[in-house]
Every structure is written in C-alpha cells, then in structure tokens.
Structure 1
C-alpha cells in the first residue's frame, strides 16, 4: 500500500500511521523463511470489538452451566441449559447443526477426548470429570471456550490431570505474545504435560476464530519451540490442548461419527481459552 492511503484494517487512519510498521516487520520474518499470517488472519479493531461481545456471552453461558451442573443430571440437560441461555440472550449455539452435529454443546466425560454428544441416557456420576465446550454466534461473530468440571468428589488421579491441564494452558498463554511463534505455545504445553507423565493429542488442535467457527491457523500443541506461524497483533485463536493420562492415540465412535475416545481407555482433559494477540501479550476473550 501507499503510505498515505487509508489502512487496510478499516481504522480510518493512514497506512503509515497504522499497520505499515507491523507489515514491514512481518515481511522481514517472511524473508527469513518463517511462516507468517496474511491480512485475513488479522482482525480489525471493529471486528475485535464485536467478537468481544460474542465472547462475553460465551463466558456467561459457561458460568450458567457452572452454576447448575451436578451429579444426577443428564448431559441433555446441559445441552438445554446452553441452548436456552444462548438463545434468550440473542445468540446461536455454534455447534448446533455444524457439519451435522446434532446438539448445542459438546459434553465429553472421562475417557472421551472431545465432541461428546449430549444425551438423555448419559447421567453425570459422582467422580466424573467432564469437559463442557461452548461456542457462540452473536450478530454473526463467533466465540469458543471450554471448561473442565469435577463432579462431586473425584479421585486424586482425575483431579491431578485436570490441574495439570489447566497449568498447560496457562503456560501456553504466557508464550502467546507478538513475534513469538505458535510452536512456542506448543512447546510450553507439551513439555509440561510430558514432565507430569501425560501425553498431548497430536492430530486434534486449536484454530483461528472470530469471523467463522474455524479459521486459519490450525494450532498444534506438539510442535517445537520457534516453529509454526509467527504471532502478530490482531491474530485470534484458541489454546485448547487435550491432555491424556496415557497414550495420545484415539478413535472416533463409529456409530455417531463424532465422539473421540482415548485408545487405551485412560482419562482425558481439555481446557480451552480464546485469545487475541495484542501489542504486548495476549488478551483472553473467553475461557
């Protein structure tokens, strides 16, 4: 772009006063052979503000689930909580009918890694750990996060897995800053999981989000430090590693085509943050 043209981001500022310096810095990294984002992966100020509103609703939905989840309820009841709260506040549950997914939320229990389908016959039991993965569309903008819930008194084995998973996400978040790389996030997560005797699922990862449910980049949690895409202000994606207590291998339910299980029947946990790369770090939009 010419220096005095309006910036491509829609801010109304001249390019030289807005994104020119950042674009030049990205170009220097590209010349070194690094993977860099294009402008489609960088959210504009207007988009960011609207996505924040969607993310606020997504957080409120998870808070609503947290206030009501308990032993003895079915996962279908969780689905109803999510659908009713989301729609009553003007939103749409993003999973509903997404590529044929039949429900408004994913509920994955114990040895289910992800994409568990709510059902009247699946009853939460004392001692279960369950991931509730909520995704929201509000005014056309997308948000996504998940939490782990311990139902009643859970075993030390299960509680430790959940705790380490949260530590992994927080360590990954510390590496989510401009001019680092996605591999820095992955290395922090994978190293901590392995140090605690766990494994990270390799073939399912995070994703860009905001204007669509799933955008570029795809986010791995097992790649080396310094590898993968350069992080720049305005990028938005999820940090959502799936931590297994045994093997990272998995299989997908042949009957429903969605639910992912640990191959060795071990426990799995996942916590998901949606983050925005800022000028000096990362902002957690919903978790």
Structure 2
C-alpha cells in the first residue's frame, strides 16, 4: 500500500519524538534498573483479537527512532486480516530498546488497527454501490496523521486533512456570512486575492439550500447534512450529476446502506476515528 502524502519523514519524526518524550521523560527507569545494558532479546507482536492490522510500518519507524540497530521482521503487513493468535512481526536487538519502544508501538497499533477494522467493516456494507466512505476531522489531537492513515489501510478515503487544504463552508460559515451565495462569493474573492487554488465544498441542510448552491455554482462538492433517505434521493435527482454529493450527519452502520442507495457519491462518518474500539495487541518476549 502506498504511503499517503502527509506521512513525511519530518512528520513521523516529530510525532514519534514528541510521543517518546511524553512517555520516557528523564528515563525508562524500570528498564534501566532491571535490564543489563548489554542484554539482547527478541519479542513478537501478538494479535489477541480479530480485525484488520494497521500500524506495522509506523512500528518500524518507532523502533528505528528508539534504536537504529533494532531489527524488525514482518510476518504480516498493514491491511492484513488477523485473528487471535496471529503474530504480526518479530523485533530483535537490545532488550532495553525493545522495552522502551513497546508502549508507543502498542498504543499506536491498537488504535490504528481498531480504526482500520471498523473502516473495513463499514466499507463492506457499501459493496454494490458507487458510494465511497470518507473520514472527517473528528480526530484525536496530535494523532490525526495516524488515524487518517488507518482509515486508508481499512479501505476508506481521506477527506481534507485539515483546515488548510480545502474550503469547507459549513452551516456556521454560511450563517455568519449571511447565506449560501454570500459565503461562496466571498470565498472566490478570498481565493483570488490570496492566489490559492483550493476545492470548495458547501454544507446544505435542506433542498432549498441545495438549490441555492446550484444557482450560484462555483463549487466542487455539495454536502447533504442530516437528511433522511427521501430528502437524499430528492437532492440526488435535483443535482443530477452536476456536482459530487456527500451525505453526512448521524449515519450509522444500520443506515449506511440505505443512505448509499440514494445515489450519493460519498458518505462521511466521524465515528471512524472518534469512537472506535482498539484492537487487542501485545508485545511478548519469547
């Protein structure tokens, strides 16, 4: 699987070093006190749950940041379907380094695997439709990079990464601007003045607002927020393919297929990243 563009060496190093500093402080004293400096050992990443594995590539970076001489042998890779008892990889080298890296590796991989697992499940509910599953900005502060990466591993699609790479005119933007037309026109003026080229998406709350967007134009996508199946079908008919449509708001695994059947192009689900159950993983000496 191709690494997404936001996973840069600089971003990875900053994240890992900050996370390690939070955990280690002035030293991993449990390890320093009990393990000889010259001790070498190995451990394997044991899967204790069923799901989709994510974070293996990140684990390599973490181990390398802690100790460049640690050696990791992959048995499984990101995106693999796993069951209880599977072994994802083996790490070998200085015992102290393995122990110091252990918790960060597990924290990242457990959450990423939980996100990938839920994403894969919801994506399976869309089979037979044209609809793609999107994530949102409802992510854990300073962990967005890993959470969005996990969505990709699970078969979902990343929406905008942050506030900087796309214009999203949501309900509060529209209300503060004075309406749909005012918000879109002001956005075009801003982009012209700043020389930026950013896609524009507008959130709509009813068919009247959808119609207003169609009258103004100049956008790349329309979001249909908290609309029921009947309204969604009417919106799809009204737009008639002129703009991609994204359904959002209160969509659950029970309603996902029905929403997709309305003909929308995308469904965004914040629960992909904010309310998932982590996969049970353990790093065990052997």
Q: Same fold (TM over 0.5)?
A: no
Category of TM-score, reference length = shorter chain: under 0.3
- Of structures 1 and 2, the one scoring higher in RCO (CA 8 A, sep 6+) is 2
More strand by share: 1
Larger Rg over CA atoms: 2
Query: Structure 2 length normalisation: TM-score?
Result: 0.24
More helix by proportion, 1 or 2?
2
